[in-house]
Amino acid sequence: MSDIKKVVLAYSGGLDTSVILKWLQDTYQCEIVTFTADLGQGEEVEPARTKAEALGVKEIYIDDLREEFVRDFVFPMFRANTIYEGEYLLGTSIARPLIAKRLVEIANETGADAISHGATGKGNDQVRFELGAYALKPGVKVIAPWREWDLLSREKLLAYAEQHNIPIERHGKKSPYSMDANLLHISYEGGVLEDTWSEHEEEMWRWSVSPENAPNTPTYLELTYRKGDIVAIDGVDMSPAQVLTYLNKVGGDNGIGRVDIVENRYVGMKARGCYETPGGTIMLKGHRAIESITLDREVAHLKDELMPKYASMIYNGYWWSPERHMVQAMIDASQANVNGVVRLKLYKGNIMVVGRKSDDSLFDAAVATFEDDAGAYDQQDAEGFIKLNALRLRIAASKGRNLL
Protein backbone atom coordinates (compact mmCIF):
# COMPACT_ATOMS: atom_id res chain seq x y z
CA MET A 1 0.00 0.00 0.00
CA SER A 2 2.99 2.32 0.43
CA ASP A 3 3.10 3.01 -3.31
CA ILE A 4 -0.34 4.65 -3.15
CA LYS A 5 0.21 8.32 -2.36
CA LYS A 6 -2.86 9.92 -3.90
CA VAL A 7 -6.30 8.55 -4.79
CA VAL A 8 -9.13 10.13 -6.77
CA LEU A 9 -12.41 9.10 -5.16
CA ALA A 10 -15.81 9.25 -6.86
CA TYR A 11 -17.51 11.02 -3.97
CA SER A 12 -21.20 11.79 -3.53
CA GLY A 13 -21.09 12.79 0.11
CA GLY A 14 -23.59 10.05 0.92
CA LEU A 15 -23.21 7.21 3.40
CA ASP A 16 -21.05 4.84 1.36
CA THR A 17 -18.56 7.30 -0.08
CA SER A 18 -18.31 9.30 3.14
CA VAL A 19 -17.27 6.14 4.96
CA ILE A 20 -14.93 5.23 2.08
CA LEU A 21 -13.19 8.61 2.27
CA LYS A 22 -12.32 8.13 5.92
CA TRP A 23 -11.47 4.46 5.40
CA LEU A 24 -9.05 5.27 2.55
CA GLN A 25 -7.28 7.84 4.70
CA ASP A 26 -6.90 5.42 7.58
CA THR A 27 -6.07 2.31 5.55
CA TYR A 28 -3.78 3.71 2.85
CA GLN A 29 -2.46 6.76 4.71
CA CYS A 30 -2.77 8.62 1.42
CA GLU A 31 -3.96 11.96 0.08
CA ILE A 32 -7.50 11.97 -1.27
CA VAL A 33 -8.85 13.94 -4.22
CA THR A 34 -12.65 13.95 -4.29
CA PHE A 35 -14.70 14.14 -7.47
CA THR A 36 -18.40 14.91 -7.25
CA ALA A 37 -20.41 14.91 -10.46
CA ASP A 38 -23.54 16.99 -10.87
CA LEU A 39 -25.52 14.77 -13.23
CA GLY A 40 -28.83 16.37 -12.36
CA GLN A 41 -29.57 14.19 -9.35
CA GLY A 42 -31.86 16.89 -8.01
CA GLU A 43 -29.92 17.54 -4.83
CA GLU A 44 -27.26 20.09 -4.02
CA VAL A 45 -23.74 18.80 -4.66
CA GLU A 46 -21.95 21.62 -2.84
CA PRO A 47 -22.50 20.01 0.61
CA ALA A 48 -20.04 17.35 -0.58
CA ARG A 49 -17.37 20.04 -0.55
CA THR A 50 -18.03 20.87 3.10
CA LYS A 51 -17.97 17.19 4.08
CA ALA A 52 -14.75 16.58 2.19
CA GLU A 53 -13.09 19.65 3.69
CA ALA A 54 -14.09 18.50 7.17
CA LEU A 55 -12.11 15.32 6.56
CA GLY A 56 -9.04 17.23 5.43
CA VAL A 57 -9.38 16.96 1.65
CA LYS A 58 -7.48 19.71 -0.18
CA GLU A 59 -8.25 18.94 -3.84
CA ILE A 60 -11.99 18.89 -4.44
CA TYR A 61 -13.61 18.63 -7.87
CA ILE A 62 -17.31 19.38 -8.23
CA ASP A 63 -18.26 19.36 -11.91
CA ASP A 64 -21.53 20.23 -13.60
CA LEU A 65 -21.76 17.47 -16.22
CA ARG A 66 -25.47 17.67 -16.98
CA GLU A 67 -25.19 18.85 -20.58
CA GLU A 68 -22.36 16.47 -21.41
CA PHE A 69 -24.24 13.60 -19.79
CA VAL A 70 -27.41 14.07 -21.83
CA ARG A 71 -25.74 15.19 -25.07
CA ASP A 72 -22.95 12.62 -25.28
CA PHE A 73 -24.40 9.65 -23.40
CA VAL A 74 -28.19 9.71 -22.94
CA PHE A 75 -29.10 11.01 -26.40
CA PRO A 76 -26.85 8.57 -28.30
CA MET A 77 -28.31 5.71 -26.26
CA PHE A 78 -31.90 6.74 -27.00
CA ARG A 79 -31.20 6.92 -30.73
CA ALA A 80 -31.10 3.13 -30.48
CA ASN A 81 -34.37 2.92 -28.47
CA THR A 82 -32.28 1.16 -25.85
CA ILE A 83 -33.97 -0.84 -23.13
CA TYR A 84 -32.51 -3.71 -21.08
CA GLU A 85 -34.57 -6.87 -20.56
CA GLY A 86 -37.68 -5.17 -21.87
CA GLU A 87 -38.10 -2.61 -19.07
CA TYR A 88 -34.93 -0.96 -17.74
CA LEU A 89 -33.96 2.33 -19.40
CA LEU A 90 -30.35 2.08 -18.12
CA GLY A 91 -30.34 5.25 -16.04
CA THR A 92 -27.53 4.15 -13.73
CA SER A 93 -25.63 2.24 -16.41
CA ILE A 94 -25.27 5.17 -18.81
CA ALA A 95 -23.89 7.52 -16.13
CA ARG A 96 -20.97 5.27 -15.23
CA PRO A 97 -18.85 5.70 -18.38
CA LEU A 98 -18.92 9.47 -17.94
CA ILE A 99 -17.87 9.19 -14.30
CA ALA A 100 -15.08 6.77 -15.26
CA LYS A 101 -13.88 9.18 -17.95
CA ARG A 102 -13.76 12.08 -15.51
CA LEU A 103 -12.02 10.01 -12.81
CA VAL A 104 -9.25 9.20 -15.26
CA GLU A 105 -8.97 12.82 -16.41
CA ILE A 106 -8.65 14.05 -12.81
CA ALA A 107 -6.11 11.34 -12.01
CA ASN A 108 -4.03 12.58 -14.93
CA GLU A 109 -4.43 16.22 -13.89
CA THR A 110 -3.49 15.65 -10.24
CA GLY A 111 -0.85 12.96 -10.69
CA ALA A 112 -2.86 10.48 -8.63
CA ASP A 113 -1.71 6.88 -8.30
CA ALA A 114 -5.17 5.32 -8.18
CA ILE A 115 -8.89 5.86 -8.42
CA SER A 116 -11.57 4.59 -6.06
CA HIS A 117 -15.32 4.09 -6.17
CA GLY A 118 -18.15 3.07 -3.85
CA ALA A 119 -19.59 0.22 -5.91
CA THR A 120 -20.11 -3.03 -4.06
CA GLY A 121 -18.56 -6.36 -4.95
CA LYS A 122 -22.01 -7.74 -5.76
CA GLY A 123 -23.12 -5.16 -8.27
CA ASN A 124 -22.70 -4.03 -11.84
CA ASP A 125 -21.20 -0.63 -11.14
CA GLN A 126 -17.80 -1.98 -10.12
CA VAL A 127 -17.56 -3.54 -13.58
CA ARG A 128 -18.73 -0.40 -15.34
CA PHE A 129 -16.35 1.94 -13.52
CA GLU A 130 -13.35 -0.30 -13.89
CA LEU A 131 -13.87 -1.42 -17.49
CA GLY A 132 -14.15 2.23 -18.43
CA ALA A 133 -11.09 3.24 -16.43
CA TYR A 134 -8.95 0.45 -17.85
CA ALA A 135 -10.06 1.27 -21.39
CA LEU A 136 -9.09 4.93 -20.96
CA LYS A 137 -6.00 4.47 -18.75
CA PRO A 138 -4.70 0.89 -19.07
CA GLY A 139 -2.27 1.03 -16.14
CA VAL A 140 -4.60 2.69 -13.65
CA LYS A 141 -4.83 1.23 -10.15
CA VAL A 142 -8.32 0.78 -8.75
CA ILE A 143 -9.25 0.61 -5.07
CA ALA A 144 -12.67 -0.91 -4.43
CA PRO A 145 -13.22 -0.80 -0.64
CA TRP A 146 -16.27 -3.06 -0.75
CA ARG A 147 -13.96 -5.84 -1.95
CA GLU A 148 -11.47 -5.19 0.83
CA TRP A 149 -13.18 -4.17 4.04
CA ASP A 150 -15.52 -5.96 6.45
CA LEU A 151 -18.22 -3.28 6.48
CA LEU A 152 -20.52 -5.48 4.45
CA SER A 153 -23.94 -4.24 5.56
CA ARG A 154 -25.78 -0.96 5.76
CA GLU A 155 -25.89 -1.28 9.55
CA LYS A 156 -22.10 -1.62 9.78
CA LEU A 157 -21.67 1.43 7.57
CA LEU A 158 -24.02 3.42 9.76
CA ALA A 159 -22.15 2.34 12.87
CA TYR A 160 -18.81 3.30 11.30
CA ALA A 161 -20.21 6.70 10.34
CA GLU A 162 -21.43 7.31 13.86
CA GLN A 163 -18.10 6.21 15.33
CA HIS A 164 -16.22 8.72 13.13
CA ASN A 165 -18.81 11.51 13.36
CA ILE A 166 -19.62 11.37 9.65
CA PRO A 167 -23.00 13.06 8.98
CA ILE A 168 -25.45 10.97 6.96
CA GLU A 169 -29.05 11.13 5.76
CA ARG A 170 -31.36 8.77 7.61
CA HIS A 171 -34.85 7.63 6.68
CA GLY A 172 -36.45 7.26 10.09
CA LYS A 173 -34.86 4.58 12.27
CA LYS A 174 -33.98 2.17 9.46
CA SER A 175 -31.17 2.09 6.96
CA PRO A 176 -31.91 4.19 3.85
CA TYR A 177 -32.51 2.67 0.45
CA SER A 178 -29.52 2.30 -1.78
CA MET A 179 -30.31 5.06 -4.26
CA ASP A 180 -28.73 6.49 -7.36
CA ALA A 181 -30.07 9.58 -9.10
CA ASN A 182 -29.21 11.56 -12.20
CA LEU A 183 -31.12 13.47 -14.86
CA LEU A 184 -32.30 10.23 -16.45
CA HIS A 185 -33.64 8.42 -13.40
CA ILE A 186 -33.67 7.50 -9.72
CA SER A 187 -33.03 3.90 -8.71
CA TYR A 188 -34.06 2.28 -5.44
CA GLU A 189 -32.65 -0.97 -4.03
CA GLY A 190 -32.51 -2.68 -0.66
CA GLY A 191 -34.86 -2.51 2.29
CA VAL A 192 -38.30 -4.01 1.69
CA LEU A 193 -37.45 -4.38 -1.99
CA GLU A 194 -35.29 -7.40 -1.19
CA ASP A 195 -38.53 -9.35 -0.75
CA THR A 196 -39.81 -9.80 -4.30
CA TRP A 197 -43.38 -10.33 -3.04
CA SER A 198 -43.58 -7.10 -1.03
CA GLU A 199 -45.09 -4.13 -2.78
CA HIS A 200 -42.87 -1.06 -2.94
CA GLU A 201 -43.83 1.79 -0.63
CA GLU A 202 -45.63 4.72 -2.21
CA GLU A 203 -43.62 7.22 -0.17
CA MET A 204 -40.41 5.86 -1.68
CA TRP A 205 -40.99 7.65 -5.00
CA ARG A 206 -39.54 11.15 -5.30
CA TRP A 207 -40.13 12.43 -8.83
CA SER A 208 -43.56 11.16 -9.76
CA VAL A 209 -47.09 11.06 -8.46
CA SER A 210 -48.95 7.78 -8.55
CA PRO A 211 -51.07 7.33 -11.69
CA GLU A 212 -54.15 7.29 -9.45
CA ASN A 213 -53.33 10.79 -8.24
CA ALA A 214 -52.29 12.22 -11.61
CA PRO A 215 -54.44 14.98 -13.16
CA ASN A 216 -57.84 14.07 -14.59
CA THR A 217 -57.12 16.00 -17.77
CA PRO A 218 -54.46 14.94 -20.30
CA THR A 219 -51.28 16.84 -21.08
CA TYR A 220 -50.17 17.24 -24.70
CA LEU A 221 -46.56 17.56 -25.82
CA GLU A 222 -44.99 18.25 -29.20
CA LEU A 223 -41.42 16.98 -29.51
CA THR A 224 -39.28 18.26 -32.39
CA TYR A 225 -36.55 15.90 -33.59
CA ARG A 226 -33.38 16.57 -35.54
CA LYS A 227 -31.26 13.56 -36.52
CA GLY A 228 -32.93 11.49 -33.81
CA ASP A 229 -32.48 13.96 -30.95
CA ILE A 230 -35.12 16.20 -29.36
CA VAL A 231 -34.20 19.83 -30.01
CA ALA A 232 -37.45 21.57 -29.03
CA ILE A 233 -40.60 20.99 -26.98
CA ASP A 234 -43.85 22.71 -27.94
CA GLY A 235 -41.85 24.84 -30.36
CA VAL A 236 -39.36 26.08 -27.76
CA ASP A 237 -35.71 25.30 -28.49
CA MET A 238 -33.96 23.53 -25.63
CA SER A 239 -30.53 22.13 -24.85
CA PRO A 240 -30.24 18.38 -24.18
CA ALA A 241 -30.24 18.80 -20.40
CA GLN A 242 -33.16 21.25 -20.58
CA VAL A 243 -35.13 18.73 -22.64
CA LEU A 244 -34.71 15.96 -20.11
CA THR A 245 -35.33 18.25 -17.13
CA TYR A 246 -38.60 19.45 -18.67
CA LEU A 247 -39.76 15.96 -19.60
CA ASN A 248 -38.98 14.67 -16.11
CA LYS A 249 -41.22 17.33 -14.62
CA VAL A 250 -44.18 16.91 -16.95
CA GLY A 251 -43.81 13.12 -16.95
CA GLY A 252 -43.61 12.92 -13.18
CA ASP A 253 -46.65 15.18 -12.83
CA ASN A 254 -48.60 12.69 -14.97
CA GLY A 255 -47.51 9.54 -13.11
CA ILE A 256 -45.22 8.34 -15.88
CA GLY A 257 -42.00 6.36 -15.64
CA ARG A 258 -42.25 4.01 -12.65
CA VAL A 259 -41.08 0.41 -12.96
CA ASP A 260 -40.53 -2.37 -10.43
CA ILE A 261 -38.35 -5.10 -11.92
CA VAL A 262 -36.09 -8.03 -11.17
CA GLU A 263 -33.08 -7.87 -13.47
CA ASN A 264 -30.13 -10.10 -14.27
CA ARG A 265 -26.89 -8.52 -13.11
CA TYR A 266 -23.71 -9.05 -15.08
CA VAL A 267 -22.06 -10.76 -12.09
CA GLY A 268 -24.69 -13.49 -12.25
CA MET A 269 -27.33 -12.79 -9.61
CA LYS A 270 -30.87 -11.50 -9.92
CA ALA A 271 -31.70 -8.24 -8.18
CA ARG A 272 -34.88 -6.29 -7.65
CA GLY A 273 -34.90 -2.59 -8.28
CA CYS A 274 -37.44 0.20 -8.65
CA TYR A 275 -36.76 2.95 -11.15
CA GLU A 276 -38.28 6.35 -11.86
CA THR A 277 -37.57 7.47 -15.42
CA PRO A 278 -40.34 9.87 -16.46
CA GLY A 279 -38.44 11.86 -19.09
CA GLY A 280 -36.73 8.83 -20.55
CA THR A 281 -40.02 6.96 -20.86
CA ILE A 282 -41.44 9.84 -22.88
CA MET A 283 -38.28 10.04 -25.00
CA LEU A 284 -38.45 6.35 -25.89
CA LYS A 285 -42.09 6.57 -26.96
CA GLY A 286 -41.53 9.71 -28.98
CA HIS A 287 -38.42 8.47 -30.72
CA ARG A 288 -40.04 5.25 -31.86
CA ALA A 289 -42.93 7.31 -33.20
CA ILE A 290 -40.77 9.62 -35.33
CA GLU A 291 -38.77 6.65 -36.59
CA SER A 292 -41.99 4.90 -37.60
CA ILE A 293 -42.50 7.39 -40.45
CA THR A 294 -38.88 8.24 -41.32
CA LEU A 295 -36.97 4.94 -41.22
CA ASP A 296 -36.87 2.35 -43.95
CA ARG A 297 -38.47 -0.92 -42.84
CA GLU A 298 -35.30 -3.02 -42.99
CA VAL A 299 -33.24 -0.33 -41.27
CA ALA A 300 -35.81 -0.14 -38.46
CA HIS A 301 -35.89 -3.92 -38.08
CA LEU A 302 -32.10 -4.20 -38.09
CA LYS A 303 -31.93 -1.55 -35.36
CA ASP A 304 -34.41 -3.55 -33.30
CA GLU A 305 -32.28 -6.67 -33.71
CA LEU A 306 -29.12 -4.84 -32.66
CA MET A 307 -30.72 -3.05 -29.72
CA PRO A 308 -30.65 -5.89 -27.13
CA LYS A 309 -26.94 -6.42 -27.79
CA TYR A 310 -26.31 -2.69 -27.59
CA ALA A 311 -28.29 -2.52 -24.33
CA SER A 312 -26.21 -5.33 -22.87
CA MET A 313 -23.01 -3.50 -23.81
CA ILE A 314 -24.13 -0.48 -21.82
CA TYR A 315 -25.56 -2.47 -18.92
CA ASN A 316 -22.41 -4.58 -18.62
CA GLY A 317 -20.02 -1.63 -18.80
CA TYR A 318 -18.70 -1.73 -22.35
CA TRP A 319 -19.46 1.83 -23.40
CA TRP A 320 -15.75 2.44 -23.98
CA SER A 321 -15.34 -0.56 -26.26
CA PRO A 322 -14.72 -0.97 -30.00
CA GLU A 323 -17.92 -2.95 -30.47
CA ARG A 324 -20.06 -0.22 -28.90
CA HIS A 325 -18.39 2.40 -31.08
CA MET A 326 -19.03 0.26 -34.15
CA VAL A 327 -22.71 -0.22 -33.36
CA GLN A 328 -23.06 3.45 -32.42
CA ALA A 329 -21.74 4.50 -35.82
CA MET A 330 -24.41 2.36 -37.48
CA ILE A 331 -27.15 3.73 -35.23
CA ASP A 332 -26.10 7.34 -35.78
CA ALA A 333 -26.01 6.81 -39.55
CA SER A 334 -29.60 5.59 -39.40
CA GLN A 335 -30.71 8.87 -37.83
CA ALA A 336 -29.85 11.19 -40.73
CA ASN A 337 -33.52 11.49 -41.75
CA VAL A 338 -35.12 11.09 -38.32
CA ASN A 339 -36.46 14.62 -38.33
CA GLY A 340 -39.90 15.98 -37.58
CA VAL A 341 -42.47 16.43 -34.83
CA VAL A 342 -44.28 13.92 -32.62
CA ARG A 343 -47.40 14.79 -30.66
CA LEU A 344 -47.95 12.87 -27.41
CA LYS A 345 -50.84 12.67 -24.97
CA LEU A 346 -49.94 11.99 -21.33
CA TYR A 347 -52.65 10.71 -19.03
CA LYS A 348 -52.44 8.92 -15.67
CA GLY A 349 -49.23 7.01 -16.29
CA ASN A 350 -49.88 6.43 -20.00
CA ILE A 351 -48.26 7.91 -23.09
CA MET A 352 -50.21 7.85 -26.33
CA VAL A 353 -48.86 8.91 -29.70
CA VAL A 354 -51.54 11.05 -31.33
CA GLY A 355 -49.60 12.60 -34.21
CA ARG A 356 -46.37 12.52 -36.14
CA LYS A 357 -45.16 14.52 -39.14
CA SER A 358 -41.93 14.97 -41.04
CA ASP A 359 -40.61 16.40 -44.29
CA ASP A 360 -38.61 13.16 -44.47
CA SER A 361 -41.63 10.92 -43.96
CA LEU A 362 -41.79 7.69 -45.97
CA PHE A 363 -45.51 7.36 -45.30
CA ASP A 364 -47.41 7.77 -48.56
CA ALA A 365 -51.13 8.23 -48.05
CA ALA A 366 -51.77 7.69 -51.76
CA VAL A 367 -50.35 4.17 -51.47
CA ALA A 368 -51.64 3.25 -48.01
CA THR A 369 -55.21 4.51 -48.44
CA PHE A 370 -58.22 2.18 -48.12
CA GLU A 371 -59.99 4.37 -50.66
CA ASP A 372 -59.38 4.44 -54.40
CA ASP A 373 -55.61 4.86 -54.84
CA ALA A 374 -55.91 5.95 -58.48
CA GLY A 375 -53.41 3.32 -59.62
CA ALA A 376 -50.68 4.11 -57.07
CA TYR A 377 -50.63 0.45 -56.06
CA ASP A 378 -51.56 -2.52 -58.29
CA GLN A 379 -53.15 -5.07 -55.99
CA GLN A 380 -52.73 -7.81 -58.61
CA ASP A 381 -48.95 -7.63 -58.03
CA ALA A 382 -49.52 -9.22 -54.62
CA GLU A 383 -50.44 -12.59 -56.20
CA GLY A 384 -46.98 -13.18 -57.65
CA PHE A 385 -45.32 -11.82 -54.54
CA ILE A 386 -47.16 -14.31 -52.37
CA LYS A 387 -46.54 -17.26 -54.69
CA LEU A 388 -42.81 -16.60 -54.86
CA ASN A 389 -42.56 -16.35 -51.09
CA ALA A 390 -44.57 -19.56 -50.77
CA LEU A 391 -42.39 -21.45 -53.27
CA ARG A 392 -40.19 -23.20 -50.71
CA LEU A 393 -43.25 -24.11 -48.63
CA ARG A 394 -45.05 -25.55 -51.65
CA ILE A 395 -42.02 -27.57 -52.71
CA ALA A 396 -41.57 -29.00 -49.20
CA ALA A 397 -45.25 -29.95 -49.03
CA SER A 398 -45.10 -31.61 -52.44
CA LYS A 399 -42.15 -33.72 -51.20
CA GLY A 400 -44.19 -35.00 -48.29
CA ARG A 401 -42.92 -32.67 -45.58
CA ASN A 402 -45.77 -32.52 -43.09
CA LEU A 403 -45.76 -29.43 -40.87
CA LEU A 404 -48.98 -30.24 -39.03
Question: Is residue 346 located within the same domain as residue 375?
Answer: no
Q: Which helix (H) or strand (E) holds 381?
A: helix 381-398
**What are the pLDDT digits (tens) for 85-137?**
999 999 999 999 999 999 999 999 999 999 999 998 888 999 999 999 999 99
Does residue 175 carry a pLDDT above 50?
Answer: no
Active site residue 226: no
93 within a domain of the structure (yes/no): yes
CATH of the domain at 332: 3.90.1260.10
Catalytic residue among 12, 18, 178, 208: 178
Q: Report the C-alpha gap between 292 and 83 in whole angstroms.
A: 18
Contacts of 280 (CB under 8 A, 6+ apart): 74, 78, 89, 91, 184, 185, 244, 247, 257
Residue ending a domain, among 114, 145, 176, is 176
Active site residue 26: no
Sheet (strand 6-10) strand order: 59-64, 31-38, 6-10, 114-116, 141-143
Does residue 54 carry a pLDDT above 50?
Answer: yes
Question: Is residue 194 located within the same domain as residue 284?
Answer: yes
Question: Is residue 391 located within the same domain as residue 324?
Answer: no
What pLDDT, on the 0 to 100 scale, is given for residue 173? 45
What pLDDT, on the 0 to 100 scale, is given for residue 272? 96
Query: Looking at the DSSP assignment, which residues form a beta bridge with residue 224?
Result: 232, 341
Does residue 21 carry a pLDDT above 90?
Answer: yes
List, as one string, the DSSP characters of 307-320: HHHHHHHHHHT-TT
Tell me the chain's radius of gyration from C-alpha atoms: 25
Question: Is residue 149 located within the same domain as residue 233?
Answer: no
Question: Whole-prediction pTM value?
Answer: 0.93
What's the chain's average pLDDT? 94
CATH of the domain at 109: 3.40.50.620
Question: Is residue 310 located within the same domain as residue 255?
Answer: yes
363 within a domain of the structure (yes/no): no
216 within a domain of the structure (yes/no): yes
What pLDDT, on the 0 to 100 scale, is given for residue 132? 98
Does residue 172 carry a pLDDT above 50?
Answer: no
Question: Is residue 56 located within the same domain as residue 149?
Answer: yes
What pLDDT, on the 0 to 100 scale, is given for residue 3? 87
What pLDDT, on the 0 to 100 scale, is given for residue 170? 56
Catalytic residue among 12, 79, 93, 96: 96
What pLDDT, on the 0 to 100 scale, is given for residue 44? 82
CB-based contact 16:157 (threshold 8 Å): yes
The pLDDT confidence band at residue 191, using thresholds 50, 70 and 90, is confident
Range of the domain at 34: 6-68+89-176
Catalytic residue among 125, 208, 334, 358: 125
Active site residue 2: no
**What are the pLDDT digits (tens) for 307-330?**
999 999 999 999 999 999 999 999
The total number of structural domains that make up the chain: 3
CB-based contact 167:354 (threshold 8 Å): no
What's the whole-number mean pLDDT along residues 349-355? 98
Question: Is residue 221 located within the same domain as residue 103?
Answer: no
**What percent of the chain has a predicted confidence (pLDDT) above 70?**
97
81 within a domain of the structure (yes/no): no
Q: Report the C-alpha gap between 117 and 130 in whole angstroms.
A: 9
**What are the pLDDT digits (tens) for 206-227?**
999 999 999 999 999 999 999 9
Q: Report the C-alpha gap between 304 and 300 in whole angstroms.
A: 6
Q: Which of the 8 DSSP states describes residue 214?
A: S
The pLDDT confidence band at residue 375, using thresholds 50, 70 and 90, is confident
Catalytic residue among 16, 38, 180, 229: 16
The pLDDT confidence band at residue 374, using thresholds 50, 70 and 90, is confident
76 within a domain of the structure (yes/no): no
What pLDDT, on the 0 to 100 scale, is given for residue 226? 98
CA angle (390, 392, 398) in 5-degree steps: 100
Residue ending a domain, among 176, 192, 212, is 176
Of 211, 260, 209, 243, nearest to 88 by C-alpha is 260
**What are the pLDDT digits (tens) for 65-86?**
999 999 999 999 999 999 999 9
Q: How far is CA 68 from the centre of its chain?
A: 14
Compute the half-sphere exposure of residue 259: CA atoms within 13 Å on the CB side of its CA: 23
Active site residue 125: yes
Question: Is residue 372 located within the same domain as residue 281?
Answer: no
79 within a domain of the structure (yes/no): no
